[in-house]
Amino acid sequence: MRIGILIFSEPDQEKSTCVGRLEESALARDHEVVRLYEPFLCFLQTENGIEITHRGTILPPLDIILCRPNFIEEPSLHIHTTALLRMAGYKLVNGNASIAIAKNKLAQFTAINNAGIAMPRTAIIKSKQQARRTAEQIGYPVIVKVAFGTHGKGVFYATDPKTLAPIVDYLTIRDQNPVLLQRFIEEAGGKDLRVFVVNQKIIASMELVAGKDDVRANAIGGTCQTVALTQEEIDLSLKIANLFHLEICGIDLIRSNNGPLFLEINANPGFETLEKTTGVDVANSIIEYLEHIKK
């Protein structure tokens, strides 16, 4: 089988896609891998339809394309890529339009609320005045999040109005986008759950623990350990994966006094740390899934 792996960046920024591990597993199972970089794709309208080239060469036939959407900017700038590839007859995994929602925390908030799934009390605000009033309603301490970010980047912690005001000022002036204001779950003890789902099956999970001088469990510098999920956490994770129509995703949950709460879904979940922590061969599970849907 010839597998394309679509990376939404240039080669020097591909690390977060775990493409090396995916390629290693695919080759071990006698598959050919073609790395595709979105910046090198060109879509040209011709009399016979859309001509697609990669690095100036016509895109070859591929049995399947695995999308690893590692971009952190506005998702609408990338949706044309997957749409045009599908129109050209390529079979894509994790390449449907729902990645635009999964890559935008504001859209995630809307979808999760519409589905009635529990999450920490959250608000979307766009000014210092709104932030101060809303934070009082939510209750301090609060977490402030930008719409697009990864590895804890764009996540801030405020304990009172004095620490909140400059954060909101900076974020709203920087890009003039709305930000999320979210209640900090104190009882979680700086721990989150990471659940990895492939084809509506939980492949592996771990607990992320914030570093000594941080509150962000998913930030670089934190630690990880194995964890046993409750049935409620299993059911919630699968419900969320199904809601976003993602065949492959990472779901972050947090344990609260009121049960598990949704934090975030990732359409480009890294898994190298997950493999080391749990001993599960996640890359192989993904390739096995590609084989299954190709049949």
Task: Count Cα neighbours of 188 within 13 Å in the Cβ-side half-sphere.
Answer: 26
Instruction: Tell me the torsion sign for CA atoms 240, 242, 243, 247.
Output: positive
**2-95 has which fold?**
Rossmann fold (3.40.50)
What's the pLDDT band for 152 if we cut at 50, 70, 90?
low
> In whole numbers, what is the pLDDT of the chain averaged over residues?
92
CATH 3.30.470.20 fits 187-279, yes or no: yes
Classify residue 279 as left (phi > 0), alpha (psi -120 to 50) or beta: left
Partners of residue 92 on adjacent β-strands? 65
- In the prediction, which pLDDT does 18 show? 95
Name the segment(s) of the chain with CATH classification 3.30.470.20. 187-279
Least confident of 98-112, 117-131, 171-185: 171-185
Whether the Cβ atoms of residue 119 and residue 125 lie closer than 8 Å to each other = no
Options 2.30.110.10, 3.40.50.720, 3.30.1490.20, 3.40.50.11890; CATH of 121-184: 3.30.1490.20
Distance CA 73, CA 194 (A): 23
Taking residues 149-164, report their average pLDDT: 84
Tens-digit pLDDT profile for residues 160-208: 999 999 998 888 777 678 899 999 999 999 999 999 999 999 999 999 9
Name the segment(s) of the chain with CATH classification 3.30.1490.20. 121-184
Distance CA 130, CA 123 (A): 10
Of the two residues 2 and 178, the one the predictor is more confident about is 2
Name the segment(s) of the chain with CATH classification 3.40.50.20. 2-95
Q: Is 125 helix (H, G, I), strand (E, B) or coil?
A: strand
Whether the Cβ atoms of residue 131 and residue 168 lie closer than 8 Å to each other = yes
Buried b (16+ CB within 10 A) or exposed e, 26-46: beeeebebebbbbeebebeee
* Position 56 pLDDT exceeds 90: yes
Tens-digit pLDDT profile for residues 11-41: 998 888 999 999 999 999 999 999 999 999 9
